[in-house]
Structure 1
Amino acid sequence: MHFLNRLAVIVGACLALCLSGGAAHAQPAAIPDISECEPGGPCETPLPVKVVVVSLFEIGKDEGDVAGEFQLWKERRGLAMRIPFPQSFHDLYYNPETQVLGVVTGIGTARSTAATMALGLDPRFDLSKAYWLVAGIAGIDPEDASIGSVAWARYVVDGDLAHEIDPREIPADWKFGYFPRHTNGPNDMKGKPDPSGGEMFRINPSLEAWAYNLTKNIELPDSEAIAAERAQFTDYPPAQEPPFVLEGEQLSAMTFWHGKLMTDWANAWVRYWTSGRGEFVTSAMEDTGVLQAMTYLDNIGRVDRDRVLVMRAGSNYTMPPPGIDPATYLLRENEGYAGLEAAVENLYTVGSKVVDELLDNWGKYESVTP
């Protein structure tokens, strides 16, 4: 390389390091230019990716307004390189220095599955060693935690593949009219659940435990707004605590359900599919779609399924506090989740601890998964 050109590269790298606050992430010698590669088309030199941050939705613009799941990651992690992604819901954003890629799948299992599969099959990216961090808001069970709390999932369970009978027509001894396929009703717990149909996915236990232990002592900020909301949950001590980091399972279902009876169903559903090993904590929509696509992509060596983490932060409770009926509470929450701001902020705080550990010690984690 010509001396002046080399000098310019060194100065540019030093300037970027200073502007980023001195982050000591190992930098590649050069980042491939994929501008000539068509989306989904062949690409001789794909972009290397160390971490994929998976957001599910954004509110309004990607920057400068009310933050949804993606905005803080884009602004604070320097995801400034826009990459067209017409085969999915939202364009991609990339940081060439840290090799972090941000994807917004769109709401719902169908979009999350399609987006993950489209990204995994796109030859413009080398995802073979990438870690995937699914970071989204959720309903949270007041029996386990408070809004603003962040839960690392050990299991992700699907709540859509099922049999259903209208509750007004179910037998008298049935608690729910919704029950697993291949059973004789919600009281039939004799058979062992078979997750081969996509009803349950287990997160790599060692990776999840590593992420939880790395973040469990993070002190999450409190606020008057979420304190006032949780104070109503007088019968649920965990719901009244300030936000904290915990472990707990995620239930993915396309219906935005709500209420005490539905929360009881969710707990029973997760217990069944995890054979009693899991505890329902958060309710969302997209994560089984992401994990199903990752499973298929792993089969052809495009990604490593064992490098997926799922964390969800409570933006709202899955049931109302004592004295308020579910319909009233749900409709009020639809006007704006009480814990949205706390949830997206805490997702970034907790998730960044994991991302920074991976990047700062990439020489250790590139080949060996925690």
Structure 2
Amino acid sequence: MPYFFKGNFMRATLLTRRFICALALYCMTITFAAAAEAPLEIKAVVVTMFEIGEDAGDEPGEFQMWKAREALNTRYAFPQGFHDIYVNKETGILAMVTGMGTARASAAIMALGLDPRFDLSHAYWLVAGIAGVDPQDGTIGSAVWADYLIDGDLAHQIDAREIPADWSTGYFPLFFTEPADQSASGQPANAKNGEMYVLNASLVNWAVSLTKDTALHNNKAMDELRARYKGYPNALGKPQVMRGAQMAAATFWHGKLLNDWANEWTAYWTNNKGNFVTSGMEDTGSYQAMLYLDKAGKADKDRFMVLRTASNFTMQPPGLSAAQNLAMESSSTGYAAMQPALEAAYLVGSKVVHNIIEHWDTYKTQLPGEK
């Protein structure tokens, strides 16, 4: 190669190598900067369990109202969970969809709590979902703040067709051999396996006080349904904000006998301090994940709230069997209070979330309701 061309070729090669090195150094700088970027501080996590269709523009589930009304427009891919996460970076509100059932909820919350993109160390957690309501305590469309979380799955069970004639039920706590054992010792229940959790009473009291006067939606179909519950005065009333124990069970149970069991199960595990009011699926799993995250310093278990809103009754009205009533609820018409319950979850829950955001300078380090 002539010297002239050889020299130019070597200079060009050197410049190319320098350019590549500079480009590589720049890319590495950007990568390290991104990796070192501080996690986004989250002030409130809204936990929903399902969405009916799309995240916007169609019939809403538990998530859609929060996304639209809180301007949750920043999307974070969340392949380690059920559904992508949405955030409003200005307000610090994050909302998630865990998927239905205890297992999905627990796994999704654990995955979020360990996600390095978010700082959840001071975040308040609000579960906002629909539930069944005991007509002995309340009515459809109501919003119920949970004080106790009861697990309805951890138990022994013998099929009702095989239980001894003198047994009242074939469903009794783990490590007992018969229902009578529940009260035979006279000792307080020890929920060491996650059969019962107590939520932060001060925070629950604060949430109830803040939201108790919230006007909740009602409609003619709800009036017609609740009118069937003659003999249940609390079921005949209008929707209101309440408090009570929340039963979590992966099996969607229904009927008077199981409703009686839920009340007895709650009384047993809370030593008669709690009253069963609402039934759902996920909340004991969600809170168990919070306990682990709290131990790891990733979240604060005392900032966890559960708000369940009543879309249906947990048992049939007089004149119908449990099977007949369940079939009616599962028909094409669905639950009479479905949409009002979804609205109630947002109306009541957002009051708490907005108050936390507005007073973040205080509530970041001091919990509401505490002196």
TM over 0.5: yes
3-state SS of the aligned residue for 1:167? coil
Match of 1:158 in 2: 151
**1:276 and 2:272 equivalent?**
yes
Three-state SS of the structure 2 residue aligned to 1:368 is coil
Q: How many angstroms apart in 2 are the aligned matches of 1:44 and 1:356?
A: 27
Q: Is the 8 A contact 2:44 2:125 kept in 1?
A: yes
Cα distance in 2, alignment partners of residues 250 and 233 from structure 1 = 22
SS in 1 for 2:103: helix
Structure 2 distance, partners of 1:271, 1:62, is 39
Q: Deviations over 1:128-179 (max 9, x none)?
A: 0000000110011000000110110000010101000111222233222100
The residue that corresponds to 2:342 in the other structure is 344
- CA distance in 2 between counterparts of 1:166 and 1:270 reads 21
1:111 to partner: Cα distance: 0.2
Partner of 1:10: none
- Structure 2 Cα separation of the partners of residues 36 and 259 of structure 1: 58
Please, which runs of 5 or more residues in structure 2 have no aligned partner?
A: 1-29
Do 2:217 and 2:343's aligned partners in 1 also have CA atoms closer than 8 Å?
no
Distance 1:163 1:80, change over 3 A: same
Aligned CA-pair RMSD: 1.5
Which residue is equivalent to 2:362?
364
Aligned to 1:50: 43
Shift of 1:196: 1.9
Range with bigger deviation, 175-184 or 94-103: 175-184
Deviations 1:205-258 (A, max 9, x none): 100111011111222122111111111111211111111011111000000000
Give distance in 2, aligned partners of 1:44 and 1:55: 28
Bigger Rg, which one = 2
In the comparison of the two structures, how many residue pairs are matched? Answer: 333
Identity %: 54
Q: Is the 8 A contact 1:43 1:124 kept in 2?
A: no
Q: What does residue 295 of structure 1 align with?
A: 291
CA distance in 2, matches of 1:365, 1:78: 22
1:96 aligned partner, one-letter code: K
* TM-score of the pair, normalised by structure 1: 0.88
Match of 2:241 in 1: 245
Among candidates 309, 321, 326, match of residue 325 of structure 1: 321
Matched, 1:93 2:121: no
Cα contact 2:316–2:322 (8 A) shared by 1: yes
CA contact (8 A) 1:163 1:178 kept: yes
2:245 partner amino acid: E
Tell me the distance in 2 between the aligned counterparts of 1:173 and 1:36: 70
Aligned to 1:114: 107
Match of 2:226? 230
Which amino acid counterpart does residue 120 of structure 1 have in structure 2? G
Query: In structure 1, what is the equivalent of residue 177 of structure 2?
Result: 184
Q: CA deviation at 1:43?
A: 5.7
CA distance in 2, matches of 1:70, 1:175: 41
Looking at structure 1, the residues matched to 292 and 58 of structure 2 have their Cα atoms a distance apart, in angstroms, of 36
Contact 1:42 1:124 in 2 (8 A): no
In the alignment, is the contact (CA less than 8 A) between 2:147 and 2:244 conserved in 1?
yes
Shift of 1:42: 6.1
Secondary structure at the aligned position of 1:154 is classed as strand
Q: What per-residue deviation string (whole Å, max 9, x for no partner) do you get for residues 41-88 of structure 1?
A: 966411110000000001011111111111111110111111100001
